[in-house]
Chains A and B, each alone.
Chain A
Amino acid sequence: MADFKPLLSSRYDLEDSHTLAVAEKAGAYKVARKALMTMKPEQIREEVKKASLRGRGGAGFPAGVKWGFLNPQAGEDVYLVINGDESEPGTFKDRTIMNGDPHRLIEGMIITCWAIGAHTAYIYVRGELSHSIAYLDQALEEARAKGYVGDRPFGKPFPIHIYTHSGAGAYICGEETALLNSLEGRRGEPRLKPPFPAIKGAFDQPTIVNNVETIASVPDIVEMGGEAWCNLSRLAPRDGGQRLYGISGHVKKPGVYEAPVGITMRELIYEYGGGMLHDDRPLKGVIPGGSSTPVLRPDLTIDAKDEEHPLHAWHGQSEIDVPMGVDTYRAMGTMLGTCCAIVMDSSVNMVEVARNLMRFYRHESCGQCTPCREGGAWLVDVLTEICAGRGKVEDVHRIVDISNNMMGNTICAFGEGTAMPMLGLVQKYREEFVEAAEKGVPLDVRHDASTLELVRPGGRAA
């Protein structure tokens, strides 16, 4: 394992790390004070740009560039909205920041508000995480009492007001425009883009929406300097810094770990995650970056003979030996997403995995676009037929067909988020889907036998 100093998680292990007294003793708010007192907003924006801070919410868009899209006109108010609607299966890192070190997030927000000229900021947290909201509210209360948040943060006449806003159970609200609708008291349906939020976001004003971890990284960037922070990464300069890796599923030590950007999936599973849960069951596949990303199969190797190919350095190596970075994973045909791993051992049936995930997408589709609303439900239907032994080999083609018809045909990325993992599973484990289509999935490997005969709301057996 690499030798490095934890940053984001450096205060997690302190007792009562969520309180201002403990956090401040360990260094919280030092950087915010310095930034507001001595730095110009454009200096901060420049450091964040130099840091190559790729958004931690899934899309990996450089935060500094996103901030650069702001161009507020006279009379417009800029808003900062923090996306804490962490709901992607496999992703559970933001909660550790909100519960374990809420003051790091608040400090990052103060600096960001100053850098982008926002006087009001919201932290949108999914409704289920009401305990995280409690931690944040308590932390905000303390920060207000100290005068760090309010009309004159650190004595500077630049009002910064921060509020939490609770969702009420909808995965789609993690999509930034759906989140803004939800913040405005509407159904969480994504908006058509353009205009992008930086031009017309919350309350029709210019808005920056950033993930919790992205903003929690800002204090360290400002303190260390963008370049130094960026160089912590093994994939500098394109993908900078350190980040939180979440690992779940069949490993001995599931949890959230901080590490430099660019460790490999093999390191994450076998070193950080402690290896496979059962020593006699080898790794069969791993879903990186949350359930919307195509699966990796350890026995497949990288084919990149061409020296120009971005993955040439890993030609002939296993998919899990490629460093985890936004660009490397995209080149591999998957996505880094929120940088995590759902680890599956040899006991797992991939058709069951697909059915479990598609059930999730069927449930969570907002229903605006037909390909997504209907496609997700069809996929569950087809997969259920296959699992129950009523499938045909054509059904495997049908899965591919439905998925292809969802790609690119929806307002937001949810359609791709459904279709991509589905296509990834069929491409990489085709033999298993064909076998299941011929014989069904044996009862003992089904995760969810009880719902095979589930009756859908229309009364038709699924």
Chain B
Amino acid sequence: MAFALTPEREKEVDELLTHYPNTRAALIPVLWICQRQHGWISPEVIAWVAARLSLSTAIVKGVVTFYTMFFQEPVGEHVIWVCRTLSCDLRGAKAIQEHLEEKLGCHAGHTSKDGKFTILKAECLAACGQAPMVQIDDAYYENLTLEKLDAIIEGYRSGEPPAPADYQLAATTRTMPTPPAPEPEPEPEATLEGEA
């Protein structure tokens, strides 16, 4: 099946091409636009992008395979990236991953039977101070507990994903308080149990 972008997205591509001195530089952004429409980068998408930017399909495929966020096979409706690098691991990312696997009935790297979720392990997503965290599609969900995670997944199941606790900086990113703010009560198991 041949692939083509919708007229609105075509306009986005035209606009993008004005940003760079050559067409090749638009390759990664154009692949993003295609993946947003098509869900993954199929061979047809590669062929279309190559023709659109006057590149060989080999060049486009070489770029697609280099970057982890371009899917080379179909994925579920929502993709859940579980950060498993050190800071998240120290704060219980393993439990987050296992909980998700159990809840959705599939291992990391696979898609749930209903086709709704794909679980993927991610390397550092640059939210170490808000560990543990997951990225679902474009949204970051941070400072997770298993309960919070359940609520988020239920939200996605019912078609009303909760707003990512957009961490409006004040909440989790504290500038230096002067004078120092009082110490919060120590929460022994703040990472994974109970409300944080």
Does A69 count as interface, using CB distance less than 8 angstroms?
no
Task: Report yes or no: B175 in contact with A166, Cβ–Cβ below 8 A.
Answer: no
Task: Report yes or no: A96 in contact with B173, Cβ–Cβ below 8 A.
Answer: yes
**Known contacts being A1-B176, A185-B24, A249-B91, is A274 close to B67, with CB within 8 Å?**
no
Does A353 count as interface, using CB distance less than 8 angstroms?
yes
Task: Report yes or no: A360 in contact with B174, Cβ–Cβ below 8 A.
Answer: no
Does B2 count as interface, using CB distance less than 8 angstroms?
no
B15-50, CB under 8 A of A: which get 1 and which 0?
Answer: 000011110111111011000000000000000000
Does B135 count as interface, using CB distance less than 8 angstroms?
yes
CB contact list, B139-196 vs A, under 8 A: 139-140, 164, 166-170, 172-176, 178, 180, 183-184, 186, 188, 190
Task: Report yes or no: B87 in contact with A185, Cβ–Cβ below 8 A.
Answer: no
CB contact list, A99-155 vs B, under 8 A: 99-100, 122, 126-131
CB contact list, B103-137 vs A, under 8 A: 122-131, 135
Task: Report yes or no: B169 in contact with A87, Cβ–Cβ below 8 A.
Answer: no
CB contact list, A260-300 vs B, under 8 A: 271-272, 274-275, 277-279, 287, 291
* Whole-angstrom CA separation of A4 from B91 in the bound complex: 31
Task: Select A87's contact among B24, B86, B124, B178, beta carbons within 8 Å.
Answer: B124
Q: Within 8 Å CB of B127, what residues of A?
A: 92, 95
Does A183 count as interface, using CB distance less than 8 angstroms?
yes
CB of A84 to closest CB in B, whole Å: 10
In the complex formed, the residue of B with least CB distance to A446 is B94
Q: Within 8 Å CB of A356, what residues of B?
A: 84-86, 89
Does B51 count as interface, using CB distance less than 8 angstroms?
no
CB of A219 to closest CB in B, whole Å: 17
Q: Within 8 Å CB of A342, what residues of B?
A: 86-87, 90, 128
Does B14 count as interface, using CB distance less than 8 angstroms?
no
Task: Report yes or no: B175 in contact with A12, Cβ–Cβ below 8 A.
Answer: yes
Task: Select A166's contact among B20, B28, B98, B164, beta carbons within 8 Å.
Answer: B28
Task: Report yes or no: B186 in contact with A279, Cβ–Cβ below 8 A.
Answer: yes
Q: Within 8 Å CB of A169, what residues of B?
A: 67-70
* Whole-angstrom CA separation of A357 from B124 in the bound complex: 10
Task: Report yes or no: A168 in contact with B67, Cβ–Cβ below 8 A.
Answer: yes
Q: Within 8 Å CB of A182, what residues of B?
A: 28
* Whole-angstrom CA separation of A90 from B85 in the bound complex: 9
Does A453 count as interface, using CB distance less than 8 angstroms?
no
Task: Report yes or no: B128 in contact with A89, Cβ–Cβ below 8 A.
Answer: yes
- Chain B contact residue count (CB 8 A cutoff): 62
Task: Report yes or no: B25 in contact with A13, Cβ–Cβ below 8 A.
Answer: no
In the complex formed, the residue of B with least CB distance to A247 is B129
Does B62 count as interface, using CB distance less than 8 angstroms?
yes
Task: Select A256's contact among B81, B129, B190, beta carbons within 8 Å.
Answer: B129
- Chain A contact residue count (CB 8 A cutoff): 82
Q: Within 8 Å CB of A86, what residues of B?
A: 126
Task: Report yes or no: A248 in contact with B131, Cβ–Cβ below 8 A.
Answer: yes
CB of B91 to closest CB in A, whole Å: 7
CB contact list, B51-77 vs A, under 8 A: 53, 62-63, 66-70
Task: Report yes or no: B128 in contact with A248, Cβ–Cβ below 8 A.
Answer: yes
**Known contacts being A13-B170, A183-B25, is A1 close to B180, with CB within 8 Å?**
yes
Does B138 count as interface, using CB distance less than 8 angstroms?
yes
Task: Report yes or no: A171 in contact with B123, Cβ–Cβ below 8 A.
Answer: yes
Task: Report yes or no: A12 in contact with B169, Cβ–Cβ below 8 A.
Answer: yes
In the complex formed, the residue of B with least CB distance to A357 is B86
CB contact list, A321-379 vs B, under 8 A: 340, 342, 344, 348, 353, 356-357, 359-360, 363-364, 366
* Whole-angstrom CA separation of A6 from B81 in the bound complex: 34
In the complex formed, the residue of A with least CB distance to B98 is A450
Task: Report yes or no: B129 in contact with A246, Cβ–Cβ below 8 A.
Answer: yes
Q: Within 8 Å CB of A225, what residues of B?
A: none
Task: Report yes or no: B87 in contact with A249, Cβ–Cβ below 8 A.
Answer: yes
Instruction: Name B's A-contacting residues (CB within 8 A).
Output: 19-22, 24-29, 31-32, 53, 62-63, 66-70, 81, 84-87, 89-91, 94, 98, 122-131, 135, 138-140, 164, 166-170, 172-176, 178, 180, 183-184, 186, 188, 190
Q: Which 7 A-B pairs have the closest CB atoms?
A: A185-B27, A168-B67, A169-B69, A248-B128, A169-B68, A248-B87, A185-B24
Instruction: Name A's B-contacting residues (CB within 8 A).
Output: 1, 3-4, 6, 9-10, 12-13, 17, 77, 86-92, 94-96, 99-100, 122, 126-131, 163, 165-171, 182-188, 203, 246-250, 252-259, 271-272, 274-275, 277-279, 287, 291, 340, 342, 344, 348, 353, 356-357, 359-360, 363-364, 366, 447-448, 450
